[in-house]
Amino acid sequence: MSLLFAVAMVLQSCNNTKDQRNGKDDRPNIIFIMSDDHAANAISCYGNSVNKTPNIDRLADEGMRFDQSFCTNAICAPSRAVVLTGKYSHLNGVVDNTQKFDGSQETFPKILRDNDYQTAMIGKWHLKSAPTGFDYWNILRGQGNYYNPGFIEMGENKKYEGYVTDIITQLTLDWLDERDTTRPFCLMMHHKAPHRTWMPDIDHINDFDSTDIPVPFNYFDDYKNRSTAAKAQKMSVWKDMYLGYDLKLTTGFDSTQVVNDLSTRAFDRMTPQQRRAWDSAYRNKNNDFYRKNPEGKALARWKFRRYQEDYLGTIQSVDESVGAVLNYLDKHGLSENTIVVYTSDQGFFLGEHGWFDKRFMYEESLKIPLLVRYPREVKKGSVSNDMVLNLDFAPTFLDFAGISVPGEMQGKSFKDILAGKTPGDWRDAIYYHYYEYPCEHFVKRHYGIRTHDFKLIHYYYDIDEWELFDLKNDPHEMKNVYNDPAYSEKVIQLKKQLKELRKEYRDDGADQFLPGKAFETIGHIAVGKPVSLEYPFSRKYPGGGNNALTDGRMASKELTKTKDLGVWQGFEENDMIATIDLQHNTDIKSISAGFLQDIDSWIFSPVWVEFAVSDDNKTFTVLKKINRETAEDLSGKERVVFMTDCENVRARYVRVHAKNIGHCPAWHKGAGGKAWLFADEIIVR
Ligand code: SGN
Ligand code: CA
Report the nearest-CA residue for atom 17 of ligand 1. Answer: 76
Report the nearest-CA residue for atom 18 of ligand 1. Answer: 76
Q: Cα(48)–Cα(385) distance, rounded to whole angstroms?
A: 17
Pairs from 10-17 (Cβ < 8 Å, separation ≥ 24): 16/402, 16/403, 17/115, 17/116, 17/402
Contact (Cβ atoms closer than 8 angstroms) between residue 169 and residue 324: yes
Please report, as a single letter, which amino acid is at residue 101: F
What is the model's pLDDT at position 382? 98
Q: Which ligand is nearest to the CA of 548?
A: 2
Q: Cα(513)–Cα(431) distance, rounded to whole angstroms?
A: 18
Atom of ligand 1 nearest to the CA of 195: 18
Q: Cα(228)–Cα(562) distance, rounded to whole angstroms?
A: 19
Q: By 3-state DSSP, what share of the chain in percent is helix, strand and coil, each rounded to 5? A: 30, 25, 45
Q: Which ligand is nearest to the CA of 521?
A: 2
Tell whether domain 3-199+310-423 is in CATH 3.30.530.20.
no
> In this predicted structure, which of 247-261, 419-433, 579-593, 669-683 has the lowest mean pLDDT?
247-261
CA 439 to chain CA centroid, Å, is: 11
Cβ contacts of 559 within 8 Å, gap of 6 or more: 565, 568, 596, 598, 601, 603, 637, 678
Exposure class string for 610-627: b at 16+ Cβ within 10 A, else e: bbbbeeeeeebeebeeee
Report the nearest-CA residue for atom 15 of ligand 1. Answer: 196
CA torsion sign, 74 to 77 to 81 to 87? negative
Residues linked to residue 593 through DSSP beta bridges, in sequence order:
642, 682
Q: Which residue has the higher pLDDT, 511 or 148?
A: 148
How do strand 185-190 and strand 338-344 relate by DSSP bridges? Answer: unpaired
- Give the chain's end-to-end CA distance (angstroms, integer): 67
Report the nearest-CA residue for atom 4 of ligand 1. Answer: 357
Mean pLDDT of the region 74-87:
98
Q: Cα(391)–Cα(86) distance, rounded to whole angstroms?
A: 5
* Residues at Cβ < 5 Å from ligand 2 ion: 548, 551, 553, 680-681
C-alpha 527 to ligand 2 mean position (Å): 9
pLDDT tens figures, 380-389: 999 999 999 9
Atom of ligand 1 nearest to the CA of 76: 20
Q: What is the pTM of this model?
A: 0.81
Exposure class string for 344-356: b at 16+ Cβ within 10 A, else e: bbbbbbbbbbbbb
Rg (CA), the chain: 28
Q: Which residues in the chain are classed under CATH 3.40.720.10?
A: 3-199+310-423
Concatenated DSSP letters of 153-215: ETTEEEE--SBHHHHHHHHHHHHHHHS-TTS-EEEEEE--TT-TT----GGGTTTTTTS--PP
CA 408 to chain CA centroid, Å, is: 25
Atom of ligand 1 nearest to the CA of 246: 14
> In this predicted structure, which of 17-31, 354-368, 579-593, 635-649 has the lowest mean pLDDT?
17-31
C-alpha 196 to ligand 1 mean position (Å): 6
pLDDT tens figures, 354-387: 999 999 999 999 999 999 999 999 999 999 999 9
C-alpha 607 to ligand 2 mean position (Å): 21
Q: Which residues in the chain are classed under CATH 2.60.120.260?
A: 519-684
CA torsion sign, 628 to 629 to 630 to 636? negative
Probe ligand 1: pick from 72, 80, 191, 195, max atoms within 8 Å of CB?
195
Q: Which ligand is nearest to the CA of 547?
A: 2
Cβ contacts of 281 within 8 Å, gap of 6 or more: 202, 205, 206
In this structure, the residues whose C-beta lies within 6 A of any atom of ligand 1 are 36, 75-76, 97, 143, 195-197, 357, 440-441
Q: Which ligand is nearest to the CA of 246?
A: 1
Cβ contacts of 259 within 8 Å, gap of 6 or more: 243, 244, 249, 250
> In this predicted structure, which of 120-124, 407-411, 437-441, 588-592 has the lowest mean pLDDT?
437-441
Q: Above 60 in pLDDT, residue 34?
A: yes
638 burial via Cβ count (<10 Å: 0-12, 13-18, 19+)? middle
> In this predicted structure, which of 192-206, 347-361, 570-584, 631-645 has the lowest mean pLDDT?
631-645
pLDDT tens figures, 633-676: 455 677 888 999 999 999 999 999 999 999 988 777 777 888 99
Q: What is the CATH number of domain 519-684?
A: 2.60.120.260
What is the model's pLDDT at position 606? 93
pLDDT tens figures, 51-60: 999 999 999 9
Q: Which DSSP letter does residue 355 get? A: B
Q: Cα(143)–Cα(475) distance, rounded to whole angstroms?
A: 32
